Structure 1
Amino acid sequence: MINMIKDILHEKAEETQEKHVPHIAIDGTKVTVSCGKDIMHPSTKDHFIGWMKLYTVDNNGRTLEVGSSEPTASLAQPVACFTLTSVDNIKKLMAVIYCNIHGIWENELEL
């Protein structure tokens, strides 16, 4: 049996008080992904974001990974910055994060 990522993703409506849905902000070609917007996700040795990934979807529908970040538990806030070479052919940005307790969460931003 193959587990599809869509089968293990949490819905935005399931969001707990510690915000798990990734927030995507773009300014020109600089993209910032954070785990939580109004309330930042905790970063402790027992409850932390293990990794954050950013993907682009181009105008042809191809999905490409831009990069990833692995914030160190209890030392780093769950925020990652990426600089794109261009946004001309990008239709959408997708961020995916992994919480060691609450699993995988994703969000998208149409450009």
Structure 2
Amino acid sequence: MKILVIRPSPEGEELVNMLKYIGILSWNFSCFNFFPSISPLSLSHKIYELYKSNIIIISSKRSVYYTNLYLNQNNLCWPLFPDYYSIGKSTAMFLKKYIKKKFLFQKKKTVKI
């Protein structure tokens, strides 16, 4: 089995190293990375969209971290109206530190062969 990991750095490299350690051939190819924005104009428009959203899908802890950093620097809070969906329980638990709301996330299923 060969696995292509598309997580951003450094988490992608960490996962590849763990997989290689247990004997699974894998590579990391980051399709995206997260950095703080230097353009307040583009972010201000995105924040408006965040507040008028009905559903917010959280893809990673890093996206939560940088969004929360921006919100704090601009004296804003996470919107409470939308439904939040998380890709992974750990990401949901990370976001729960910042907003007190129920989250939906995919539960891992174990399949026996």
Q: Give the structure-1-normalised TM-score.
A: 0.23
* Structure with higher helix content: 2
State the structure with more CA Rg: 2
Structure in which a larger fraction of residues adopt strand: 1
Greater relative contact order (Cα < 8 A, sep 6+): 1
TM-score by length of 2: 0.23
